[in-house]
Structure 1
Amino acid sequence: MLQITALHYIYLIFILLVITFMVYKKDTSLICIIGIFVLGLVATGSVYQSIMAVFNGLAYAIKELLGTILIISIIVGMGSVLEKTGINQEMVRPFLKLIKTPSLAYWIIGLVMMIISWFFWPSPAVALIGAIFAPVAIKAGLPALAVAMAMNLFGHGIALSSDLVIQGAPKLTAGGAGIEVAEVIRASIPLTIVMGLVTTVTAFILINKDMKRGILKVKEQIKEDNIKKESPLSLYYRKLFAVLIPIVFALDIVIMQAYKLQGGDATALIGGTALFILILILLFSSKTKAIDEVINYLIEGLQFGFKVFGPVIPIAAFFYLGDEGFLKIIGEFLPKNSTGLVNDLGLALSQIVPVNRVLSAASLTTVGAITGLDGSGFSGISLAGTVAKIFGTALGRGTATLTALGQQAAIWVGGGTLIPWAVIPVAAICKVSPFDLARKNLIPVVIGLVVTTIFAMFII
């Protein structure tokens, strides 16, 4: 018979502490490190083994996340090369002829931002297309704040919360929930569609109303000087690469479908492709200097990758203890019949709390939103996966859907749509106030989360 021990209570207490610290916008890394130490101390009764457990936990988390960190780093490096060579300008130039009205500007800049963000992540995508599209969109009559909203909602919202190609977010949440990455991705697709449609359509309606009332006005805030940058590549090669790069990534998608590549395999294919594109462009643009330039761009990307994931590592290490990570970080000190701290808590919860689909979905959205309050979107999604597993175990189903729901809420709130310091990249390139941008995003995102949560209640 399953026995709830001090380890379970301590783990639960530290989960609640993490949530509390996030509500008050405090960093949770120290709490997670202390949590690992205390769990190690209670499990082993040894101070030195507990200290070792903290280091082992961080090393285990880095090992689990290394593929994700590496691909993001490579893609950021590649994005930097595309920007400095001017290839990015040629990649988006065909779309510029389509942007003739404010409505077209909103949807085109949003959809292009979403597509590029799936492959390059939103942060590099902001630099990749923002300097080109924003001036054209403003000329078409779309205010700069509306341009920023479109980039935010489609890029940092839809693309980042689903993360269908790079699969960094699903890997974190799946790890916390103890399920396969593919399960989270499948469960997230209907939620992404509902959340994306509700949020972007609501924002579009509100933007049109504000424009008619004169609340949003067009100001020529962004100069087009950025479009005419000097490039080390000739126009011919810029156009050639602008055509080849989307074709190569499209071939990657075909290969993934044909050979059923998912998770780490899909990530490796995209990452390897991006690395070879980076090298090829440098060979054409830097020639003899390419050997030195490759490592410089990789270092630039790695600095970005570890800066983004630095806060995630200790938090992920703590939440990995909820499943098989406990054995690898601390050792075989779980109770005899335990199937993992999270599974045990889920079974105990099912026996004492009348868990249902409504409560479960509402809880995951709330937990996800709270974890996003730190402004990263990623630091707490392992927690969303852990909580989803607790409720999924209690319900006997729906773990993947609940995990995807928590992931959606966390990243929509913290990944760059509602927290002022998280929207700074988009606000900066569109030259608008990050606080104004966060306020304008609030109503569409909240409505989207409510509708998506209700939808999730029916499909769990």
Structure 2
Amino acid sequence: MIELTAIHYIYLIFIILILIAMIKKLDCSLICIVGVVLIALISTKSIPASLISIFNSFIYSITELLPTILIISIIAGLSKALSYTGISKVMIEPFSKFMKNDFIAFWGIGIIMMIISYFFWPSPAVALVGAVLVPVAIKSGLPAIGAAIAMNLFGHGIALSTDFVIQAAPKLTADAAGIPVSEVVKASVPLIIIMGIVTTVTAFIMLKKDMKNGTLENLTYTEYSEEVESTDESLLSKGWKSFFAILIPLLFAIDVFLMVSLNLKGGDATALIGGTTLIILILISVKAYKKASLDKITRHLVEGLQFGFKVFGIVVPIAAFFYVGGDGFTAIIGNYLPTGSLGIVNDLGYALSKAVPLNNFLSAFGVTTVGAITGLDGSGFSGIALAGSTANLFGTATGGNVATLTALGQLGAIWVGGGTLIPWAIIPVSAICKVSPFELAKRNFKPVVLGLIVTTIVALFFL
């Protein structure tokens, strides 16, 4: 068993402080920076080295987040161009016929996000859904935060935590648990049904309550558009607007076909969406601005990058702290963890798994908690192997269903770390919907925690 050191306990203390700050709606950037400095100081016992670690943590954080920053920035740049030329209004008209109200918009955008996420993972799905459906959802009366919640829970929650199609997540946990992937997938089905229903229904009820009480800003599409850019609809004729309104979804549909036929996933799929978005931006700019297109393309790209870095700027120090708790420790601070360490977060999760008494009830909640703790590094995937091995340990000791425990640990890790609770992990959705990532995380908190508790209780019947 890996012995916990002062580094582990200090990291745990700062996690608690961050959670308290989030609950009190306070910015936790300073807490994260101080946490990195203190952990580096104790590890290296050198003030200069600890100061260097602050900067290194920022570099590491930006490097890891850069692909996401770029795709969001490019999409934002295209959004500026679509709004300014009036194409966006033409694009949303057909969808407006179906999304008549906030109820249809919430469940419609969520289900579409889930379906696309199952095949291509949430990152490219965010770009596809966000570019076309978010403005429609907002026009129908759904607040921007409501669209973000739906996309987040259905995509980064339901789809990513089960990963039925690509099966990267169940393979990792199944291998660690020593059981076939098919058993984990099968065991996930009843659990994700419960988890999905509890989280999405709870989130929607809370959203509607706040809308009714007037405690939630309910933006209309007109207001949303004015926040993005004023318009000059004389730049393009009605015919050309209709042409681009058809061309853009068609090109994204071709991207979907290419993803399937070429088996593009994750970063490659996101890059394909990004490249297509740039081509669309070029075509619109050349036609709308003509001789001024060179300057206008640059302008829209700069506007997109300004938006992207403005949104991500507050997240860099937070991401840096959580990277220190995961695979980034060595790159940021150095090789100062005990021999055999799996990373600060995973070590804490492993220690907890050893401390939980072995019976079905505590084993189920123990596996869920271990998964949730490993998810605090924000990736969701880094700790699911530990969740699988813990499930095997508990299941073997109690005679329980190892597959169910494995699926439970997988859900706990990915719902927390895969992008529904850790603020910096939900940046893509919050950026596309133009809402605060901290506000989105706060609104996800109660539904997700309630969902995990109810799902864990239900899992006891399958053990």
Q: TM-score, normalised by structure 1?
A: 0.68
C-alpha distance in 1 between matches for 2:209 and 2:260: 42
Match of 2:104 in 1: 107
Select the residue among 305, 308, 312 that pairs with 2:311: 308
C-alpha distance in 2 between matches for 1:223 and 1:75: 18
Match of 1:74 in 2: 74
The answer for unaligned runs of 5 or more in structure 1 is 135-143, 165-172, 369-379, 427-434
| Letter of the structure 1 residue corresponding to residue 108 of structure 2 | L
Q: Shift in Å at residue 58 of structure 1?
A: 0.7
Change (3 A) 1:338 1:202: closer
| Letter of the structure 2 residue corresponding to residue 27 of structure 1 | D
Residues 113 and 129 in structure 1, CA contact (< 8 A), matched pair in contact too: no
Residues 405 and 456 in structure 1, CA contact (< 8 A), matched pair in contact too: no
1:17-70 Cα deviation digits (max 9, x unpaired): 222322332222112211211221122121101110111011011001100111
1:40 aligns with 2:40: yes
Match of 2:236 in 1: 233
| Letter of the structure 2 residue corresponding to residue 382 of structure 1 | G
| Letter of the structure 1 residue corresponding to residue 104 of structure 2 | W
Change (3 A) 1:231 1:245: same
Change (3 A) 1:366 1:42: closer
Select the residue among 228, 250, 253 that pairs with 1:250: 253
Match of 1:404 in 2: 414
C-alpha distance in 1 between matches for 2:50 and 2:220: 54
Q: Shift in Å at residue 199 of structure 1?
A: 5.8
Report the RMSD for the aligned CA atoms in angstroms: 5.1
Residues 374 and 384 in structure 2, CA contact (< 8 A), matched pair in contact too: no
| Letter of the structure 2 residue corresponding to residue 335 of structure 1 | P
C-alpha distance in 2 between matches for 1:438 and 1:249: 29
| Letter of the structure 2 residue corresponding to residue 51 of structure 1 | L
Residues 409 and 449 in structure 1, CA contact (< 8 A), matched pair in contact too: no
Select the residue among 348, 351, 354 that pairs with 2:354: 351
Number of residues paired by the alignment? 401
1:399-429 Cα deviation digits (max 9, x unpaired): 54322221464279x979xxxx999968xxx
Match of 2:23 in 1: 23
Match of 2:281 in 1: 278
Alignment of 1:94-133 (within 5 A): 94-98=94-98, 106-107=103-104, 110-112=107-109, 115=112, 118-120=125-127, 128-129=135-136, 133=139
Q: Shift in Å at residue 441 of structure 1?
A: 10
Greater mean alpha carbon deviation, residues 329-338 or residues 68-77: 329-338
Alignment of 1:156-171 (within 5 A): 157-159=153-155
SS at structure 2 position matched to 1:236: helix
C-alpha distance in 1 between matches for 2:331 and 2:441: 41
C-alpha distance in 2 between matches for 1:223 and 1:37: 44
Match of 1:432 in 2: none
The answer for unaligned runs of 5 or more in structure 2 is 114-123, 161-168, 176-180, 393-405
Match of 1:329 in 2: 332
Q: Shift in Å at residue 230 of structure 1?
A: 2.7
Q: Shift in Å at residue 243 of structure 1?
A: 1.3
Q: TM-score, normalised by structure 2?
A: 0.68
Change (3 A) 1:99 1:119: closer
C-alpha distance in 1 between matches for 2:251 and 2:432: 31
Change (3 A) 1:56 1:24: same
Q: Shift in Å at residue 394 of structure 1?
A: 3.7
Q: Percent of aligned pairs with the same residue?
A: 40
1:59-94 Cα deviation digits (max 9, x unpaired): 011001100111001001111211222222222222
C-alpha distance in 1 between matches for 2:302 and 2:17: 36
| Letter of the structure 2 residue corresponding to residue 40 of structure 1 | A
C-alpha distance in 2 between matches for 1:119 and 1:304: 17
Alignment of 1:383-402 (within 5 A): 394-396=390-392, 397-398=406-407, 400-402=410-412
